[in-house]
A and B are shown apart, each in its own frame.
Chain A
Amino acid sequence: MNTAELHRKLIAVARANPPGDQVPYAFEKRVTALLAARPLRENMSLWIYGLWRAAVSCVAITLLLGTWAAFQPATPAVTGDDLSQNFENTLLAAVDQTDPTP
């Protein structure tokens, strides 16, 4: 078979038979309706995209801080007291320092 001739013949067939240009009924109405619905969808997708990015950033920061806190060497307390006692002392420091005599 002469494949070069077959090639030429097939191209000639494609040239002689251009595709039809018929458009489905009310296609332009469909496009206009899609365009009208588009700004709302675009706004929503913008919000969704922004919120997802914020969520991902928050998770990343949490993981980072969590890892940092987990591997941080524990520092011994200076006085040996617990946190609640230190807090109470600090809060009542002013009262302790006031002179009880009139």
Chain B
Amino acid sequence: MERTEAELIAAVLKGDAASFEPLVLKYSPRVFATARRYARRESEVEDIAQEVWLKAFSKLPGFRGEAPFEHWLMRMTVRTCYDFLRGHQRNRESSFSELSEPESDWLERFVTQPETLTDNADAARLLIGRVLEKLSPSARLVITLLEIEDRSVKEIAAITGWSVPLVKVRAFRARAEMRKIVAKMAQDKYL
């Protein structure tokens, strides 16, 4: 018979580390999907996921079971991703002058024939990736959670551990920062 999540956690807390494996198996897809929002290279994504699980294991005695394990784990994942962003800010200084041909074409079409653009274009995905990479860590986190994942300010406050007013201030600054980056991209392309 398959053991429940609570039983697995209780077994891990009693010292049976092998009971942690089914939890890793069940929730790793969500951890990886979240990590891929913040890290580009697959090796970095794996490092983040590994760190999340090691942290989850060591902090499991602090899990009181008031909220579902998944929520607790996702909070830890987002915070680990934020730490990763703060430690890897190397790509923020590059300019938009080295856009690839498909990216340039997509921008060109955005200006000349915006009605023909689809949301599934690879070039557009690369472009949004470039824009997000140029954001500061807190701005990227807020834009991802608020605008891309469509979460509420309250949810973001719970996930990040920031207060609601701080999330609002950071969201305001993040949108301004993103507008500035998009404007710079347009300027680099056409000037």
Cβ-defined partner of B24 (8 Å) among A7, A22, A28: A28
Q: How large is the interface on B (under 10, 10 to 19, 20 to 34, 35 or more residues)?
A: 35 or more
Number of interface residues of A (CB under 8 A): 32
Contact surface of B with A, Cβ cutoff 8 Å: 17-18, 20-21, 24-25, 28-30, 32-33, 36-37, 46, 49-50, 53-54, 57, 107, 110-111, 114, 117, 119-121, 124-125, 127-128, 131-132, 143, 147-148, 150, 178-179, 182-183, 185-186, 190
Distance to closest chain A CB from B118 (angstroms): 9
Would you call B24 and A13 a contact (CB within 8 A)?
A: no
Q: How far is the CA of A34 from the CA of B57 in the complex (A)?
A: 11
Distance to closest chain A CB from B76 (angstroms): 14
Which single residue of chain A is at the shortest CB-CB distance from B56? A31
Cβ-defined partner of A15 (8 Å) among B114, B150, B185: B150
CB contacts between A and B, total, < 8 Å: 102
Which single residue of chain A is at the shortest CB-CB distance from B186? A1
On whether A18 and B28 interact (CB within 8 A), knowing A6-B110, A31-B53, the answer reads no
Distance to closest chain B CB from A39 (angstroms): 9
Chain A residues, CB < 8 A from B150: 15
Would you call A32 and B32 a contact (CB within 8 A)?
A: no
Cβ-defined partner of A13 (8 Å) among B28, B53, B119: B119
A20 within 8 A of B: yes
Q: How far is the CA of A64 from the CA of B186 in the complex (A)?
A: 64
Would you call A10 and B131 a contact (CB within 8 A)?
A: yes
Give residues 1-52 of A contacting B (CB, 8 Å). 1, 3-7, 9-24, 27-32, 34-36, 38
Which single residue of chain A is at the shortest CB-CB distance from B126? A13
Q: How far is the CA of A47 from the CA of B111 in the complex (A)?
A: 64
Would you call A9 and B179 a contact (CB within 8 A)?
A: no
Chain B residues, CB < 8 A from A6: 107, 110, 182, 185-186
Q: How far is the CA of A29 from the CA of B53 in the complex (A)?
A: 12
Q: How far is the CA of A36 from the CA of B19 in the complex (A)?
A: 12
On whether A10 and B46 interact (CB within 8 A), knowing A1-B186, A23-B28, the answer reads no
Would you call B21 and A32 a contact (CB within 8 A)?
A: yes
Chain B residues, CB < 8 A from A28: 21, 24-25, 28
Would you call A31 and B128 a contact (CB within 8 A)?
A: no
Cβ-defined partner of B182 (8 Å) among A3, A22, A35: A3
Chain A residues, CB < 8 A from B49: 23, 27
Cβ-defined partner of B50 (8 Å) among A15, A19, A34: A34
